[in-house]
Amino acid sequence: MPQDTPYGAYQTAGIQTADQRTLIVMLYDGLIRFLKKAEQKIEAQDIEGAHNYLVRSREIVAELMATLNPEKGGEVGRNLKRLYVYVFDKVVEANLYKDTDRIREAVKIMSTLREGWASIKTQTAGGESAERKKISVTL
């Protein structure tokens, strides 16, 4: 979307000023949306459309993996990395075989993770720090 439109400028400003947790939730939202659209495209026999959405999904998962720092995140970070790798593989396989079951599995995992990140964000915004809750995922 062009940045010179009011909505485009608002959207860009929102992304640039968002905290890290908000950005992660936004990435999850985009990933889930693209996966669901890919599933719709497969069901509609639109192979090219499905491919495009699955490639975009793969790129988001790759971005999540690239920004993760499993060494600082400890056990949680290492487990999160394993989940990202697993979802990445499912997205690649879904694209290769145009398999909606693999897409649904990826959506289920990422939706669960998204809920977790959103609850961390809510707890932190409510004045309760993530550190006090013993949540130590560092990206």
pLDDT (average), residues 95-112: 98
- Rounded to whole angstroms, the Cα distance separating 133 from 20 reads 18
Report d(CA 99, CA 87) in Å as an integer.
14
The rounded distance, in Å, linking the Cα atoms of 44 and 23 is 31
Range of lowest pLDDT (14-28, 41-55, 96-110): 14-28
- Of the CATH numbers 2.40.50.140, 3.30.470.10, 1.20.120.340, 3.20.20.80, which one belongs to the domain with range 19-125? 1.20.120.340
Does this model's pTM top 0.85? Answer: no
**pLDDT surpassing 90 at residue 72:** no
DSSP 21-48: HHHHHHHHHHHHHHHHHHHHHHHTT-HH
Q: Would you list the domain boundaries of the chain?
A: 19-125
Cα dihedral sign for 10, 12, 13, 17?
positive
Check pLDDT > 80 for residue 115.
yes
The alpha carbons of the chain give a radius of gyration, in whole angstroms, of 16
